[in-house]
Amino acid sequence: MPKRIFSGIQPSGVLHLGNYLGAIKSWVALQEKPARNASHSDAGGYDPIFCVVDLHAITVHQKPDELRQKTLEVAKTYLAAGIDPEKSLIFVQSHVPEHAELAWILNTITKIPELERMIQFKDKSSKNRQNINAGLFSYPVLMAADILLYDTNLVPVGEDQLQHVEMARTLARRFNSLFRETFVVPEPFIVKEGMRIMGLDDPKKKMSKSALSEYNYISLTDTPEKIREKIKKSVTDSGKEIKYSADKPAIKNLINIYALLDNAKPKEIVESYQGKGYAEFKKDLAEVVVGFLEPFQEKYNNIEDREVLRILEEGREKAKKMAEEKMEKIREKIGLL
Ligand code: TYM
């Protein structure tokens, strides 16, 4: 059996290099191992679904026109980054209402203290004091519904989503023990160097869509000049050496970005910068980032909205069929007439 992959991104804020390196890059790699040509270790290959999770985005207030626009932009980003609609299913979460239905059902087996422990909830509610809404609180339950609805085996995400994937595992097991075997218990899929790309202005905090300063992140739409400026200004550690170690978090983060974009190992990058300083390293890193983002942006700008809408409609039909079949079984299990 091919392994089902499911992941998603919220259409809110700017998409940045952390989203690409922590999530989308590994999606593209997984997609390239199709079921038919699977090697022995991946027996069965992968069957990927990538979703634009608009219902998650509205847990923070969004302007309707901007939300519509962002939803298209995130789908376009998937395509420009190499997600191929022939190999992967791409759709918008709200186009398949079964996500919300399953989330409601899972809410009834979720304990309030479990949700109170969620780091992202604590973090988002401290930043959004005026709008600590019930949706924000039960956000991980909707995410569990996304994952469980499609019998997902692997969830490729950055480290900040691990606690949510764990919640999905807990709910799958709980439902299975209450109502008999129904859900696959999913596993997270993490790429070590990319799982936590840190802010360029503060290597102790992750690169974030909602960061106050634009010098925190490199947006996937930044111009070459902006990228060069942001990398030049990025915080560095004390000392001069290009060293990959936990006590040099700023340079470690930059090495991770370099290594991932250059498809190299951090060790190889460190070796090639022996005896060289931060300035030279940063200058080269900026060119590596520009070299990656320029062709990405060219592809992005050449994809028409019409084409994206067509792909999303195709995705909706396929996802809806799968979700309807699964929901039938779930409704029956819990005794809905
Ligand atoms: P979101 O939209 O915040 O982020 C999308 C993906 O980007 C990863 N990411 C990072 N990775 C490395 N370093 C960073 N600095 C960084 N910042 C973000 C995130 O880990 C994520 O993989 N709840 C999810 C969306 C979601 C989802 C799902 C994911 C909804 N349903 C089902 C997987 C499966 C979220 O808010 O991601």
pLDDT at 37 over 60: no
Share of the chain above pLDDT 90, in %: 89
Ligand 1 centroid, distance to 173 Cα (angstroms)? 23
Ligand 1 centroid, distance to 19 Cα (angstroms)? 7
Which ligand 1 atom sits closest to the C-alpha of 160? Answer: 20
pLDDT at position 184, please?
Answer: 98
Ligand 1 centroid, distance to 71 Cα (angstroms)? 15
Which ligand 1 atom sits closest to the C-alpha of 194? Answer: 12
> Which tens digit of pLDDT belongs to each residue from 266-304?
999 999 999 999 999 999 999 999 999 999 999 999 999
Q: Are residues 144 and 176 in the same domain?
A: yes
Question: Does 207 reside within a domain?
Answer: no
Q: Are residues 88 and 180 in the same domain?
A: yes
- Measured by CA distance, the residue closest to atom 1 of ligand 1 is 9
Q: Are residues 72 and 184 in the same domain?
A: yes
Q: Are residues 166 and 232 in the same domain?
A: no
> Which tens digit of pLDDT belongs to each residue from 195-213?
999 999 999 999 998 888 9
Q: Which of 87, 209, 226, 243 is catalytic?
A: 209
Say how far apart CA 27 and CA 189 lie, in whole Å. 10
Say how far apart CA 305 and CA 288 lie, in whole Å. 29
pLDDT at position 235, please?
Answer: 96
Ligand 1 centroid, distance to 241 Cα (angstroms)? 32
Mean pLDDT of 167-172: 98
Mean pLDDT of 175-179: 98
Ligand 1 centroid, distance to 189 Cα (angstroms)? 12
Question: Does 136 reside within a domain?
Answer: yes
pLDDT at position 72, please?
Answer: 98
Q: Are residues 93 and 227 in the same domain?
A: no
pLDDT at 264 over 50: yes
Mean pLDDT of 231-241: 93
- Kindly list the protein residues whose Cβ atom lies closer than 6 A to any atom of ligand 1: 6-10, 18-19, 22-23, 53, 56, 143, 146-147, 155, 157-158, 160-161, 164, 194-197, 206-207
Question: Does 200 reside within a domain?
Answer: no
pLDDT at position 34, please?
Answer: 59
pLDDT at position 219, please?
Answer: 97
pLDDT at position 32, please?
Answer: 85
Give the residue, out of 4, 49, 160, with the most ligand 1 atoms within 8 A of its beta carbon, to mutate for a pocket test.
Answer: 160
pLDDT at 36 over 50: no
Question: Does 68 reside within a domain?
Answer: yes
Average of per-residue pLDDT values in the chain: 95
Residue 209 known to be catalytic = yes
User: Which of 40-54, 90-104, 230-244 has the highest mean predicted lDDT (pLDDT)?
Assistant: 90-104
pLDDT at 120 over 60: yes
Q: Are residues 184 and 218 in the same domain?
A: no
Count up the domains in the chain and report the number. 2
Question: Does 44 reside within a domain?
Answer: yes
Q: Are residues 40 and 56 in the same domain?
A: yes
DSSP string, 135-192: HHHTHHHHHHHHHHTTT-SEEE--GGGHHHHHHHHHHHHHHHHHHSS-S---EEE--G
Q: Which of 3, 33, 76, 206 is catalytic?
A: 206
Give the residue, out of 54, 157, 202, with the most ligand 1 atoms within 8 A of its beta carbon, to mutate for a pocket test.
Answer: 157
Q: Are residues 296 and 313 in the same domain?
A: no
Contacts of 301 (CB under 8 A, 6+ apart): none
Long-range contacts at 278-286 (CB < 8 A, ≥ 24 apart): 278/236, 278/240, 278/242, 278/251, 281/242, 281/251, 281/254, 282/231, 282/232, 282/234, 282/254, 283/232, 284/258, 285/231, 285/254, 285/257, 285/258, 286/227, 286/228, 286/231, 286/232
Question: Does 203 reside within a domain?
Answer: no
Q: What is the CATH number of the domain that holds 275?
A: 1.10.240.10
Q: Are residues 34 and 145 in the same domain?
A: yes
Question: Does 47 reside within a domain?
Answer: yes
> Which tens digit of pLDDT belongs to each residue from 147-161?
999 999 999 999 999
Q: Which of 3, 25, 33, 124 is catalytic?
A: 124
| Burial (0-12, 13-18, 19+ Cβ within 10 Å), 97 | middle
- Measured by CA distance, the residue closest to atom 27 of ligand 1 is 8
Note the pTM of the prediction, 2 decimals: 0.95
Q: Are residues 294 and 313 in the same domain?
A: no
Q: Are residues 39 and 137 in the same domain?
A: yes
> Which tens digit of pLDDT belongs to each residue from 67-114?
999 999 999 999 999 999 999 999 999 999 999 999 999 999 999 999
Domain that holds residue 290: 214-300
Q: Are residues 293 and 312 in the same domain?
A: no
Residue 124 known to be catalytic = yes
**Lowest mean pLDDT across 93-97, 172-176, 234-238, 325-329:** 234-238
Question: Does 201 reside within a domain?
Answer: no
Residue 206 known to be catalytic = yes
